[in-house]
């Protein structure tokens, strides 16, 4: 993936895929949430959602991001792409789709919320 002001891209074998985050914030957050369950499927969904130009997977998008990502992976593998290359392209797309959804300050605000509680101060 490019990191400057150029259009971000992903590589899938010999193919260079221009990427753009989808306009739907709900779809972007769905990908982010799905990654906690299955990053590979979320990344494949992100790849199809962000893919600009020819060759985009024909798999119909669904609200079930994990199912959608699995169907995208299957389609691209059926086209002859190695699963590891599909995943690498998907991870590039995942970063484009989820960029800016969670800020550093939001991470700092929730940090420590999963720690065990301290000793009780009540008697």
113 within a domain of the structure (yes/no): no
Q: What pLDDT, in 10s, does the model give residues 38-77?
A: 999 999 999 999 999 999 999 999 899 999 999 999 999 9
Q: What pLDDT, in 10s, does the model give residues 11-33?
A: 999 999 999 999 999 999 999 99
2 within a domain of the structure (yes/no): no
Q: Between vectors from CA 24 to CA 12 and to CA 83, what angle results, nearest 5°?
A: 20
107 within a domain of the structure (yes/no): no
Full-model pTM: 0.81
Name the domain count of the chain.
1
70 within a domain of the structure (yes/no): yes
96 within a domain of the structure (yes/no): yes
3 within a domain of the structure (yes/no): no
Contacts of 37 (CB under 8 A, 6+ apart): 66
Which range marks the domain in which residue 95 is found?
Answer: 9-101
108 within a domain of the structure (yes/no): no
For residue 95, the tally of other CB atoms under 10 A from its CB is 18
Q: What pLDDT, in 10s, does the model give residues 97-117?
A: 999 997 656 556 656 665 555
51 within a domain of the structure (yes/no): yes
């Amino acid at each position: 993936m490019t990191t400057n002001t150029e259009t971000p891209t992903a590589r899938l074998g010999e193919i260079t895929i221009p990427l753009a985050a989808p306009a739907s914030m709900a779809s972007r957050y769905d990908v982010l949430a799905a990654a906690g369950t299955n990053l590979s499927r979320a990344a494949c969904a992100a790849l199809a959602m962000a893919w600009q130009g020819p060759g985009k997977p024909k798999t119909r998008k669904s609200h079930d991001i994990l199912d959608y990502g699995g169907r995208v992976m299957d389609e691209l593998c059926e086209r002859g792409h190695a699963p590891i290359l599909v995943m690498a392209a998907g991870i590039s797309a995942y970063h484009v789709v989820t960029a800016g959804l969670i800020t550093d300050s939001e991470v700092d605000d929730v940090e420590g919320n999963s720690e065990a509680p301290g000793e009780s101060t009540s008697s």
